[in-house]
Amino acid sequence: MNKRHYDVIFLGIGVSGAFTAKTMARHTNVARMAMIDRRPGPGQVNTGRARNSGTGHNGRLESNLAIGRAIEVSGEFDLLRGFAYKYAPGAITTVPGLLFGVGAKDVAFLRDRFAKLAPHFQDLRLLERDEIARLEPALIEGRDPSEPVVALYTAEAYAVDFESVTVALHNEAHRAAFETGKTLDTYFDTEITRVTRTATGFELVAGDITFTCRSLEVAMGNNSILVAHELGFAQHLVPTTVGGSYYVADARVKGKVYTPQDEAVPFAALHFDLDANNHSVMRIGPLAILLFMMERGSYRTTWEYLKSGALTPRGILGWLRAILFNPPLRNFGLMCLLCLLPIVGKREFLRQVRRFIPLMQLSDLTFADGAGGVRGQLIDTTNGTMSKATRIPTPEGMPANFIAAPSPGASVSGGNAVRSVRNHVKWLGPDYWFDEEAMRADLLGAIPARAVS
Ligand SMILES: Cc1cc2nc3c(=O)[nH]c(=O)nc-3n(C[C@H](O)[C@H](O)[C@H](O)COP(=O)(O)OP(=O)(O)OC[C@H]3O[C@@H](n4cnc5c(N)ncnc54)[C@H](O)[C@@H]3O)c2cc1C
């Protein structure tokens, strides 16, 4: 049996694991680290460029976030934005962004939200019909002039290729380790099949290799919950694996157009995004559907889904309660189901789209087959509610961080990394330090002064 020992192991090399590893390699004195993933490269599951909407969420347009959280999200996104400017400049593009409201109810909601957000975000503006028509003509062309509309607008929304950012994070982690004389090993194509607690930390098994470590970062996306269950906690949380699909069309918008989102629905409401790597194409979605697998297109992960407890009587009751007794979520689910039906589905989707882009035609829309990741939304089976936590709470004294489908996603991975690294150095002992100030200076210093939020 092949044995390898490290101070800290990062399980999963998506954007979450890679950001934490890079931060630790560059800004702490932890000397022996390893990153492990079963895929052949970084960022190939939900972080993959075809798997998510590629939006850098910065709190301006996410109407489901409480105002305080929106401000926090802006600060956390700045860490990723600064990293991208400095180390992966091709992976981030500034585009205009709108939160577009149609009809009296949405218009009143957006006016109120603007009043609350404007003191915190100087770049945010409230646009009336004429200005919307000038900036995003497709939203107004062909619209009934008596229909009320309004929009929150920022010139600084972001299209991000999170996969490329993750490749750069992985490279920078290695550069930092090399320059500071630390050990950082990466194991790709290495699937962890068992995790156990030991007197001094954890033991992980992958084929004929046994890894041990003193503290552990579990950033395995939807699979993080499986490790928690294996270690005997968070049994009351089960994942509902919701696939987010989308249509593509020739770009009709000039940036990102979001629509008001109900906070009870874990997916953004219908939105229009320029493809991060090809601005002549826009993605329109999401359409969510229950998929009984942890990773899109990987049928072997159905077994992992079955192990998660989601299909036990307690699990089924939990997520049925969460969906059926939550009218906005139930209605969203029914709408998605309808839109995914053969023949009539595309027409129903077009009807939804035309509320925002009135002149859109059926022939403009192409379903992006098999694209879009799987969000493993955790359900608390004790009360049938959706967990909004970005981290799975661990038992007292367990030296491990568990990152669950962090909301609002990859955009806040820098904030998660800071919290994780603070924990690791605390768990490792008083001889260990984290120079958080240097980390912030390095990343935030890369943001042009006028653009710091
Ligand atoms: C449809 C959709 C749209 C989204 N849009 C956005 C958006 O616009 N903006 C945004 O900020 N976020 C968005 N998100 C969320 C975002 O994609 C995720 O929050 C983020 O990518 C999660 O990163 P992660 O590193 O935590 O997990 P992942 O990227 O899923 O990485 C987990 C890693 O763990 C590895 N792993 C799993 N099991 C094992 C094992 N047993 N052994 C070894 N390795 C293992 C996997 O191979 C994988 O590489 C979206 C998500 C979805 C589903």
The domain 2-451 having CATH identifier 3.50.50.60: the answer here is: yes
Quick one: which atom of ligand 1 is closest to the CA of 191? 42
pLDDT at site 437:
98
pLDDT at site 443:
98
pLDDT at site 267:
74
Q: What is the pLDDT of residues 109-160, one digit of tens each?
A: 999 999 999 999 999 999 999 999 999 999 999 999 999 999 999 999 999 9
Strands (E) across 353-431 are located at 366-367, 374-380, 385-386, 400-402
Strand, coil or helix: 229: helix
pTM: 0.94
pLDDT at site 406:
59
Which residue numbers in the chain have pLDDT < 70? 406-407, 450-453
pLDDT at site 453:
47
Domain ranges of the chain: 2-451
pLDDT at site 451:
47
pLDDT at site 423:
98
CA distance 269 to 263: 10
Strand, coil or helix: 76: helix
Return the residue matching tokens 């033991």. Answer: 203
Quick one: which atom of ligand 1 is closest to the CA of 16? 25
CB 249 within 8 A of CB 362: no
pLDDT at site 450:
59
Distance 259 CA to ligand 1 centre (A): 24
Q: Which residues line ligand 1 (CB under 6 A)?
A: 12-17, 36-39, 44-47, 52-55, 57, 162, 191-192, 219-221, 223, 244, 286, 372-375, 403, 405-406, 408-411
Tokens of 4: 């390898």
Q: DSSP string covering 103-142, please?
A: SHHHHHHHHHHHHHHTTT-TT-EEE-HHHHHHH-GGGTTT
Pocket test for ligand 1, best of 10, 15, 20, 46 (most atoms within 8 A of CB): 46
Quick one: which atom of ligand 1 is closest to the CA of 14? 25
Distance 135 CA to ligand 1 centre (A): 33
Pocket test for ligand 1, best of 19, 20, 220, 273 (most atoms within 8 A of CB): 220
pLDDT at site 85:
97
Strand, coil or helix: 350: helix
